[in-house]
Amino acid sequence: MSKRKALISAAKDLLWEQGFEAMSPKKVMRLSGAGQGSLYHHFEGKEHLASVALAEVSDELFSLSDSTFDPEKPPMDRLYDYLMRARPELKGCKLGRLVSDKTIIESNICKTIGAYFAHIEGHLSQALKDAQASGDLPHYLDTSAMSKTLQAVIQGGYILARGSQNPEQMAQAQEGAWVMLEALSAHNS
Amino acid sequence: MSKRKALISAAKDLLWEQGFEAMSPKKVMRLSGAGQGSLYHHFEGKEHLASVALAEVSDELFSLSDSTFDPEKPPMDRLYDYLMRARPELKGCKLGRLVSDKTIIESNICKTIGAYFAHIEGHLSQALKDAQASGDLPHYLDTSAMSKTLQAVIQGGYILARGSQNPEQMAQAQEGAWVMLEALSAHNS
DNA sequence: GTCTATAGCAGGATAGAC
DNA sequence: GTCTATCCTGCTATAGAC
């Protein structure tokens, strides 16, 4: 593996484990086995490296979500699979975890995160509309608002789990969301 | 105002605005008008100061939530008031904002945050149970799971809003949660 | 492309005068 | 209690050899 790839890989790991602030160039170097020279030859600096690493992470998460929201699947299955998927409760969302960082918010990396959120929201919104069209959910529901709500349940579940140091918090947040959705669906039939 | 109080006040502001990592002793000193000596006389160090400051924040948030969840109020009103309360979308929850920080998670401050989450969860859980008792919500709903879900919507709403730099994301996440709850309530009657 | 050496600067804390 | 001076460390980046 080239040093460039090793650096990106190490950065991805550290960004997820420790966040942007804590991802120091030295840690990246140690974890990747590359020296200072390689880092600053391939990247303009820490922020640039993080930007490239997170673009890769974003790609991976896009793929994962596109598979979860496969339009061939019945809409309620898509919603179930998204809501109930096993998640790294205590580590957090690889992108959402970073929004508390000031540098991230003020940089272009923020756009990567926003684009990811918008992508998921689009999938959720579509699934909810499809569920209405197929008669699984009542038409009076505001699918645009609900798509943000369901996405927020996941991002918030990570926060609760980390704050309590208890993975179960995420599991219950997920479960509760599905229960509510299912109840709305049942009432509609 | 004593220097001690000034330091705590400055720390509270900085912790909310910038997080724990970014709250350097120097910034606290500049904002509070106190010198190094005062800081290290009254507190053991940065972490101790943050701990004291966040204990105060926790107290304030406890009071706010106790007022929101006044047991005299009808349960659905309590839930509405909690879910739809205006919030500092882009700044985030004064406590929840900090869970991405490694130092916070590994310190005793984490317990303060966990206790706050548990407090809110208790209020939500009680309100949901009361709503069932009063016939506002169907009994088959899992109130324990749903309380985590609703709390996660708020915490997650902050994440979405910050990641998109768009306050509207929080508003919609809130709105969607209330719409779902209301729909479950209407169906029950 | 990759390395080591070096530099500038800020974070975090201590010492000791007042 | 509060101040200033000082210290050590680690973060971030540059320089220049190989």
Span B118-145, pLDDT tens digits:
999 999 999 999 999 999 999 999 999 9
Q: Which pLDDT score, from 0 to 100, does residue B189 have? A: 60
Question: Quick one: pLDDT band at residue B48, thresholds 50, 70, 90?
Answer: very high
Q: Quote the CA–CA distance of B81 and B63 in Å, as a whole number.
A: 15
Task: Tell me which residue in B19, B144, B159 faces A155 most closely, judged by beta carbons.
Answer: B159
Instruction: Give tens-digit pLDDT for B70-122.
Output: 999 999 999 999 999 999 999 999 999 999 999 999 999 999 999 999 999 99
Task: Tell me which residue in B138, B151, B169 faces A156 most closely, judged by beta carbons.
Answer: B151
Residue of chain B whose Cα is closest to the Cα of A188: B187
Q: Can you give the pTM of this predicted structure?
A: 0.98
Q: Which pLDDT score, from 0 to 100, does residue B186 have? A: 82
**Which of A162, A165, A181, A187 best tests the B interface by mutation, with the highest count of B CBs <10 A?**
A162
C11 nearest neighbour residue (CA to C1'): B24
Structural domains of chain A sorted by starting position, each given as residue range(s) with its CATH number in brackets: 54-188 (1.10.357.10)
Average pLDDT, chain B: 97
Q: Which pLDDT score, from 0 to 100, does residue A103 have? A: 96
Instruction: Give tens-digit pLDDT for A109-158.
Output: 999 999 999 999 999 999 999 999 999 999 999 999 999 999 999 999 99
- Measured CA to C1', what is the nucleotide nearest A22? D11
CA-to-C1' span, A26 to D10 (A) = 9
A156 neighbourhood in chain B, CB within 8 Å:
151-157, 159
Q: Which pLDDT score, from 0 to 100, does residue B187 have? A: 66
Q: Which pLDDT score, from 0 to 100, does residue A4 have? A: 97
Task: Tell me which residue in B117, B155, B160 faces A148 most closely, judged by beta carbons.
Answer: B160
Q: Which pLDDT score, from 0 to 100, does residue B133 have? A: 98
Q: Which pLDDT score, from 0 to 100, does residue A55 have? A: 98
Read off the pLDDT of each residue in B164-185 and give the average, rounded to a whole number. Answer: 98
CA-to-C1' span, B24 to D5 (A) = 19
CB within 8 Å: B165 and A100? no
Concatenating the DSSP letter of every residue in chain A gives: --HHHHHHHHHHHHHHHHHHHH--HHHHHHHHT--HHHHHHH-SSHHHHHHHHHHHHHHHHHHHHHHHT-TTS-HHHHHHHHHHS---TTT--TTGGGTT-HHHHHSTHHHHHHHHHHHHHHHHHHHHHHHHHTTSS-TTS-HHHHHHHHHHHHHHHHHHHHHHT-THHHHHHHHHHHHHHHHHHHHH-
The residues of chain A scoring below 50 in pLDDT are none
Q: Quote the CA–CA distance of B97 and A136 in Å, as a whole number.
A: 36
